[in-house]
Amino acid sequence: MNPKPVAFTTGAGRGIGRAVVLELARHGYDIAANDIVFDPADRTRGLLEVQEQAERLGARFLPLPGDVSSLGDQERFIGEILAAFGRIDVLVNNAGIAPAKRIDLLETPPESYDRVMAVNARGAFFLSQRVAREMIKRRESGEAGPLSIIFVTSISAVVSSPSRPEYCVSKAALSQTAALFADRLAGPGINVYEVRPGIIRTGMTEPVKDKYDRLIAEGLVPQGRWGEPEDVAKAVAALATGAFGYSTGAVIEVSGGMNIRRL
């Protein structure tokens, strides 16, 4: 079995997922990384760019192109990871998509709802189920050390945005999924956490940058700045490495204080 712990991160080709991979590589993890966008001829962005950076940090890296909402792809991911490393110590459910177009709640098409839910909620549910079974086998064989599943959700799990309702519903579902897995897996000793980002500077938020610049300037974020992918990654790494070992089910909000109730 691989001597180093192995972290599997979905949606790892850019943004928060990319930052998570590199932070975990810095903490001594070998990396399995998934993304739906993959161009084997392009090493300037996407999984192969992330691979180059992770390997510079001393990690072995397994790229896993594919769609996290596909159960067939999920089975392939698990098979390739176990063949390459023999273990999965951390699963970071980060893959997520926004609606193709922001549109009023009353006009939301079912096709958009179904696609967003398939990736953001359904995919993470069944991938976690599959990985949890492997982790339980590890525990039953006497394996020690921290094993964890981390769900990257969003403040949209608890904050309304009627122009992207399917995204909010998917993140609320993912938040409850994290709680359910935390409850079920506490007995076998597999910790489950939710990391809930606020307004993070990524490709997903770039189209509404001006709006968020204005809201931040008006005081929406108490700490007065955008969040960066690295802010989220540091929280994920702290959880993965066992720093919060007696806190399964915890929700860690990385939002610059947006969780504070203020008058």
Strands 90-93 and 6-9 come out as parallel
Q: Is 228 exposed, middle or buried (0-12, 13-18, 19+ CB in 10 A)?
A: middle
Q: Which residues contact 225 (CB under 8 A, 6 or more apart)?
A: 216, 256
Q: Hey, which residues does 63 pair with through a beta bridge?
A: 33
Apex 91 CA angle, 86 and 92, nearest 5: 145
DSSP 126: H
Residue 125 tokens read as 């549910």
Strands 61-65, 90-93: pairing is unpaired
Contact 8/38 with Cβ under 8 angstroms? no
Catalytic residue among 29, 167, 193, 212: 167
Bridge pairing between strands 191-197 and 90-93: unpaired
The rounded distance, in Å, linking the Cα atoms of 54 and 59 is: 6
Instruction: Confirm if 15 and 203 have CB atoms less than 8 A apart.
Output: yes
Measuring CA to CA, which residue among 190, 168, 171 is closest to residue 181?
A: 190
Token pair of 194 as six digits: 């939710």
Give 200's DSSP letter.
B
Active site residue 113: no
Active site residues: 167
